[in-house]
């Protein structure tokens, strides 16, 4: 799987660990920044990852900031992206099975490294359910984008 990944300074250390972890699992990972732990603005990197997913240059994306909230907000501004901030294994699984999320947002400062790696693995390995009600709801999200994101 091709994964785009980005983080601000608060998520830099987790991003670095994720890049290594995901490559060891056989994924193709495109690191979209930040290049270091110097203060940086999360919207820059969140948009890069979201654009890569929305344009299908990447199959999925992972964004990281201190608590994951800012990156989730940014990623969800890009049409075609369904970003989810998760803190539990159940959330990581259900955002894939129910929402077909294509961007994962993680908290670089608020959760331990091993928890974040586990959440990423669960999210990446969980398929969309294709259950009728979930397909319908994901379609309804796409319809909302057509109404609210006019070129």
Tokens representing 23 are 């490559």
**Burial class of residue 79 (count of CB atoms within 10 Å of its CB; 0-12, 13-18, 19+):** middle
Catalytic residue among 9, 21, 27, 98: 98
Residue 120: HSE in the Cβ half-sphere, 13 Å Cα cutoff: 31
Query: Is the Cβ–Cβ distance between 31 and 5 less than 8 Å?
Result: yes
98 is catalytic: yes
Return the closest-CA partner of residue 67 out of 110, 129, 27. Answer: 110
Tokens representing 95 are 């955002």
65 is catalytic: yes
Show the CA angle centred on residue 81, arms to residues 62 and 5, nearest 5°.
20
CA distance 34 to 11: 9
Catalytic residue among 27, 65, 134, 148: 65
CA distance 100 to 132: 13
Active site residues: 65, 98
């Amino acid at each position: 799987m091709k994964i785009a990944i980005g983080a601000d300074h608060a998520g830099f250390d987790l991003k670095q660990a994720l890049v290594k972890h995901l490559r060891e699992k056989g994924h193709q990972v495109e690191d979209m920044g930040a290049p270091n732990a110097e203060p940086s603005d999360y919207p820059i990197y969140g948009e890069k990852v979201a654009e890569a997913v929305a344009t299908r240059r990447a199959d999925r994306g992972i964004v990281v900031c201190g608590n994951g909230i800012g990156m989730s907000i940014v990623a969800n501004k890009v049409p075609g992206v369904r970003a989810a901030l998760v803190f539990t294994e159940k959330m990581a699984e259900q955002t894939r099975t129910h929402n077909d999320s294509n961007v994962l947002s993680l908290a670089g400062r608020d959760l331990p490294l091993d928890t974040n790696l586990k959440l990423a693995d669960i999210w990446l390995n969980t398929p969309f359910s294709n259950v009728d009600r979930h397909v319908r709801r994901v379609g309804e999200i796409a319809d909302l984008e057509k109404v609210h994101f006019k070129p």
